[in-house]
Structure 1
């Protein structure tokens, strides 16, 4: 009898051990997204022409307008997973040629190495397509002139507690569904304590761009974000810098400023135009999901790039945006 119980105990231990080794990975499905709309008006220009707006992406229509509806579904099972990110509305249409904002699969080879293939938003820059990822509702010149998305393969490496590295090969910048000419772009990102140095070389598209994105906490309630970039494609390109100080007045209210200098460059133009832009934004959160953002913006160019209320060319434009963003 003792031998019987000993054998039974041994068998039970072996069975439990085998079950642990062959345990089926848990499946994890998440679903979320956002909706946004806004009202925009010019102080120093007519409001009956949608083109009288800063030469940046999104939030450029006078009166009441829609932003985008964003639906994100993700699935994960063990080391593998995938994300489908769909967008609808003017903001999504301007950022992507299709409703597919992002569509990619990934494989966590180890705790420190992750492979991703598909379409994903760019790793360059401080701002992103979705308004939920930006403090300011209107976007910067640096963001608007850089890449939006890439389609290709990238590898993310966690080198240490402080350092990270990304290497990738992509189709031509913002060509998301096919490769039109057989050319490819390559990119890299080196991260150190939330400071990122980004590189992209795309000979057939954007050309070469180097970009720094980061920031620091000046205090518990005061944060300063920083973005600087330089791009060149055979004598055509741009450079500039933007600073993003943000102060949290309460748990619900944050006030932030974006100050940006942006300069185009061309071998064909002797005096390239530049612009200086200041954007003051308030962000008020209602019950964690609804964000109200009033925003005052002033753009000043080195040349007459805007129109005033008398329909005369002028160097500056003052405008106001009131946006509502709902996250779910």
Structure 2
């Protein structure tokens, strides 16, 4: 009788153990993260405004202001996953293409090397991103403001090796939001080649205003020493239909003095062309980046913008503008 009872208990234990293993295999992984930032800013000319603060009306940036608040919901299970990045605030207003949605996409890992993603995802062009917690500087470059910010469509990523990667994308014109609707079937094709942290990006097609818009972008960087990093972003855009485009380049020189403090300098040159007319602007940003805790950092930008052609953001009538901005960025 004892043997029968022991056998039943053992069988029950094995069944329970097996069921627990199945339950664990069936469960996915859910993560929640996000950021919040606020800033204080002042310029050294008459009037309000700070160039490079990404808000719908940059001339309104004065005193204290709200930047960006987002929450990222991510769920993965097996070879599939979804990401919902919901963002609010003045900084998000310019970037979101569909209401409060910054990103919303699903992906499927076909293999260890191939991933297919469909939905709305942030652009693969450029050095800087929408979320300020991922940038060294708080104010953004003219190259970043030139866009695009996000794309809606499908992309395929192929990782050939640890050093080499490829990406191919088919998306709506990046100038089309959910409020517009792609009634004309305006599409873009995009691609990326990545090698050892250097990325060459290309987009061609309609951008909402031209059918033959070409965007070329190089983004990369090099560790010149154990503490000094040089980042590079260079871009070119042109359309024969509209006879317009832009060129620009920015350097990101950053030196890390400790685990909690770094200084950076971002010189940038940006030129827009329309027909035979050109206009350019130069911007220089000195940034102190200090981590108070693992979650909270302070970013201080002292910025100088100069243009003889009225290109300074929020100050078209000024030849030069200097501004000081202190931002607190909290990540969780």
**TM class, shorter-chain normalised?**
0.7 to 0.9
Offset from partner CA, 1:170-194 (integer Å, 9 cap, x none): 0111424342311211100000011
- Which consecutive segments of 4 or more residues in structure 1 shift more than 2 A? 19-26, 53-60, 174-178, 202-206, 302-307, 311-314
Aligned with residue 232 of structure 1, among 230, 238, 251? 238
Tell me: CA distance 1:237–1:312, structure 2 relative to 1, closer, same or farther (3 Å).
closer
C-alpha separation in 1, matches of 2:111 and 2:24: 18
Report what 1:69 is aligned to. Answer: 69
1:1-328 alignment, distance < 5 Å:
24-43=25-44, 45-47=45-47, 49-50=48-49, 53-54=50-51, 57-58=54-55, 60=58, 61-97=61-97, 98-177=99-178, 178-205=181-208, 207-234=213-240, 235-267=243-275, 269-270=276-277, 272-305=278-311, 313-328=317-332
Tell me how large the CA RMSD over aligned residues is: 2.6
Tell me: CA distance 1:57–1:23, structure 2 relative to 1, closer, same or farther (3 Å).
closer
Q: Secondary structure at the match of 1:219?
A: coil
C-alpha separation in 1, matches of 2:91 and 2:151: 18
TM-score w.r.t. the length of structure 1 is: 0.87
TM-score w.r.t. the length of structure 2 is: 0.86
The structural deviation recorded for 1:57 is: 3.0
Q: Secondary structure at the match of 1:24?
A: helix
Q: Secondary structure at the match of 1:260?
A: strand
Offset from partner CA, 1:85-126 (integer Å, 9 cap, x none): 000111111211410000000000100000000000000000
Q: Does structure 2 retain, via aligned residues, the 8 Å contact 1:56–1:144?
A: no
Report what 2:3 is aligned to. Answer: none
C-alpha separation in 2, matches of 1:239 and 1:104: 31
Q: Secondary structure at the match of 1:225?
A: strand
Structure 2 regions of 5+ residues with no counterpart? 1-14
